Chain A
Amino acid sequence: MHLKLPNKIIDSLRRMLPAFIVATIVTFTVGIYYAILNSPPDYLQGDSMRIMYVHVPAAWLALSSYSFLALSCIAWFIFRNPIFNLFAKSIAPIGATFTLIALVTGSIWGKPTWGTWWAWDARLTSMLILFFLYIAYIMTWQTITNKDLAAKISAALGIIGFINIPIIKFSVDWWNTLHQPATISKLSAPSIHISMLTPLMLMTFAYVLFLITLFLIRYKIEILDQKILRVSS
């Protein structure tokens, strides 16, 4: 496996990381301030609605991480550059964690709102499947000891799992579920008030920065791993 100038990548990563860490902390502070103190409670759900500011960005990023993973797998099939495999390998545990956050916070939110911790509706079930797809992808690298083989198989698996993403996205439109349909994605006029949209957007921004920071750290680790492998082999 060759990487194009891995030393340069690591150098630039070292320079970029502190900036991202500081930016993450600042946006999280501002976002949490807005989410907890400076936004109105929901007229129906009261203060329990505030968990949305943690739940929704995590769910969005869980989906987009998997899309990124699948896209890197496709890119690996086209260009056969090991860098794309490292992208997918670095994003997988982060995406799994965001999925878990979305599931757990959703469950906590569901108790006061729906009266149950868990409902077997389409959105929740497909999110749970997404979690297992992430686990399957991570397990591929662990169970298959031959690294070249693991690269090929995990790329195929990542693409197979991508069929779940549109199912999650449109599950609330296709089936009549307990989970509410999307309120933000109507680009022209989101059906959410601006006083709630501001903290949500701030929190999403913070989550994105957090994701990028974690991704850079993991990507650095993966490159170092490859270098160790090459030295020891």
Chain B
Amino acid sequence: MPFYNLIIRDLKLAFFSSTNFLFAASFLILILILVPFVFGTNVGSFSILFTGFIWISIALSILLTLDRVFNSDYEDGNLDTIILTQQSLELIVCSKFISHWIANCIPIIIVIPIAGLLFEVGIQDILNIILNVSLGSPGMVFIGSAISALTLGSKRAGIYKTIIIVPLYIPFIIFGSNQESGLVLLGLSMTAFVFSLFTSIYSLRLYAE
């Protein structure tokens, strides 16, 4: 089953590369470490800001690791080989989405309760945040991967990619920081999936020519 093989290959790559599973989790904690230095050490007032910082660090960690989805394979030529396997592009793109979400967002979701302990956030709030993050972060991964597929051909695409992706993340951030909007996030993620699938396939066809 090439679909699962591809997922397992990407997960192995993510695990053994220099920016592995630990990256996303430690990135979240590092961003949160900066917060007390900005707002003082009165921990009680952080619980309001906590959701916002979680979402900002998720957005940043997805943006920073986007190079792993298509770019690294594109640069060393593996992407051509994967496309040449005659597997349908839809499955290839889906497996890339899934492996990237597992490698980057699951560690964040695991770390959220620990981070919540550091900031004295209540259990109910933490559960809500985890629900929102697990429904919303797939959509962010989809959009980021699609745009990075679209901009494969540009050299030094960092800032350029950020300018396109961040406006598209705004709906996720808006509804994510609202406690009772899990279903909206699910809808957003599904919409993002359809749009990203088409965009990624379109751009992979462009570069595979």
Contacts and interface: CB of A to CB of B under 8 A. Distances in A.
Contacts of A133: 164, 167
A232 interface: no
Interface string A133-169: 1011001100111100100110011001000100000
B160 A143 contact: yes
Contacts of B154: 140, 143-144
Contacts of A114: none
Interface string B150-164: 110111110010011
Interface string B162-199: 01101110100000000000000000000000010001
Identify whether the interface residues of A are mostly helix, strand, loop, or mixed: helix
Given A153-B206, A157-B150, A139 B199 contact: no
A136 B163 contact: yes
Identify whether the interface residues of B are mostly helix, strand, loop, or mixed: helix
Chain A, interface size: which category? 10 to 19
Interface residues of B, number: 19
Contact of A153 (B150, B156, B168, B195): B150
A98 B166 CA distance: 22
Given A143-B154, A143-B156, A160-B199, A149 B163 contact: no
30 contacts: A125-B170, A129-B167, A129-B170, A132-B163, A132-B166, A132-B167, A133-B164, A133-B167, A135-B163, A136-B163, A139-B163, A140-B160, A143-B151, A143-B155, A144-B151, A144-B153, A144-B154, A146-B153, A149-B206, A152-B206, A153-B150, A153-B151, A153-B203, A156-B202, A156-B203, A157-B164, A160-B168, A160-B195, A160-B199, A164-B167
9 nearest CB pairs, A to B: A143-B154, A129-B167, A144-B154, A136-B164, A136-B163, A149-B153, A143-B160, A139-B160, A144-B153
Interface of B: 150-151, 153-157, 160, 163-164, 166-168, 170, 195, 199, 202-203, 206
